[in-house]
Amino acid sequence: MFLHPGIIALTIGSGIVLLLILSAALLGIRILRRWDIKSSSEEQLSLERKTYLVSILVQYALSFEILSVFLFIYTADDIHTLLVGAMCATGSLNANSYGFPTLYAKIVTFFVSASWIAINYLDNKAEDYPLITIKYKLLIGIVPIVLAESALQLQYFLNINPNVITSCCGTMFSEEGKGIGSSLASLPILPTKITFYSLLTILLVNGIAVSRTPIKPFTYLLSISSLLFFIVSIISIITFISLYFYQLPTHHCPFDILQKEYYYVGYPLYISLFSGIFFGMMVGFIEPFKKISLLRETILQTQHRWSLYAIIGAVIFALISTAPMVLLPFTLEGY
């Protein structure tokens, strides 16, 4: 392991996140076991106060987590100079078998803790905490994910060996190579483009439908189409979107667009994608809570608003990824 400043920052950060989530979960267990909304005992009052503590603990943990996703990618990018064969974050993440799993774990943690905060937000809207059981069960479910993430990250940093030659994006996302990266890179471009834009249309149509009348089939459809669109978007970034930014028909790396050379375009690209998808998926996720009569109104309003956020996110993402295809002279047709 190297004592690189970024690595120290990430290790301290993940320790803090783990501590916050663990203490929130411990409080959560106590609240779950003792909770009785009808009681007016001293204990119930103190538990109700503790719910505030739990929610700020998770909120802070999530904001640190978001920062750490970017810091992690940036650090991977920064240490590539130390590794033989690495030329960007892909190479560093590939340096041992923990790199990519750490990144995936970070993304999962991000989505799960964001949904916890969303549910918490709804729960606080109602007078008598109707979602409290679901909320704290989910919180206990977050613990192993965060634990796994910290363990993976630590293993990744401990096992980086500068003498092992790693393969970088040039080989990993090349069209001839083996492995998942290469098979994504070698997907035919035109069908992928068609899938991408038709799913985008489905997502937008569903989004508009939900924003007008947030009712059952549309809300679930919006969730499903958001999830599908997320997967197809990641594939599309590797298959064709990144090529237009690099202006190279052979360069498929999903990380290089985060670099200075490409004006950091990757940041707005990924942020709009992630937030749009998150809100789109949450719309269907909170649909079952409509059964609780106290929450019905709030959920209808929330679904309306979140579907708008999903549309905005997807549109910004689509605009950023389409802009170079339309505006720049580079073209992929003929390949």
Residues that bind another protein (CB under 8 A): 2-10, 12-13, 16, 19-20, 49, 52-53, 56-57, 60, 64, 67-68, 70-71, 74-75, 78-79, 81-82, 84, 124, 162
- Name the minimum Å distance from CB 44 to another protein: 14
Ramachandran class of 286: left when φ > 0, alpha when ψ lies in -120 to 50, beta otherwise: alpha
CA 195 – CA 93 distance, rounded (Å): 29
Q: Measured from the CB of residue 301, what is the shortest distance to another protein in angstroms?
A: 14
Q: Which is nearer to another protein, 63 or 183 (CB)?
A: 63
- Would you tell me how many other CB atoms lie within 10 Å of the CB of residue 52? 10
Closest CA relative to residue 122, chosen from 110, 109, 112, 132: 132
Shortest reach from residue 56's CB to another protein, in Å: 6
DSSP state of 85: T
Nearer to another protein, 68 or 239 (CB): 68
Rounded-to-integer distance, Cα 105 and Cα 147, Å: 10
Specify the residue, 85 or 177, whose C-beta has the smaller distance to another protein: 85
Shortest reach from residue 234's CB to another protein, in Å: 24
Give the closest residue to 286 by CA, choosing from 134, 152, 142, 147.
Answer: 134
- Cβ 30 to another protein shortest distance, Å: 15
Task: Indicate the residue among 6 and 249 with the shorter CB distance to another protein.
Answer: 6
Min. distance of Cβ 100 from another protein in angstroms? Answer: 21
* Tokens matching residue 174: 């090349």
- 46/306 Cα distance (integer angstroms): 33
CB of 131 to another protein, least distance (A): 17
Indicate the residue among 159 and 322 with the shorter CB distance to another protein: 159
Burial of 41 (C-beta count, 10 Å sphere; 0-12/13-18/19+): exposed
Nearer CB in complex with another protein: 20/119: 20
Residue pair 88/246 in contact by the 8 Å Cβ criterion? no
Q: Which residues contact 219 (CB under 8 A, 6 or more apart)?
A: 210, 283, 284, 287, 303
Contact 169, 221 (CB under 8 A): no
Closer of 6 and 101 to another protein (Cβ): 6
The helix (H) or strand (E) run that includes residue 75 is helix 42-78
Give least dist CB 196 to another protein, A. Answer: 30
Would you say 149 or 287 has its CB closer to another protein?
149
User: Smallest gap, in angstroms, from Cβ of residue 147 to another protein?
Assistant: 18
Contact present, 167 and 94 (Cβ < 8 Å): yes
CA angle 247, 321, 269 (to 5 degrees): 110
Enter the tokens of residue 180.
């998942």
Is the Cβ of residue 115 or residue 259 nearer to another protein in the bound state?
A: 259
What one-letter code names the amino acid at 221? Answer: L
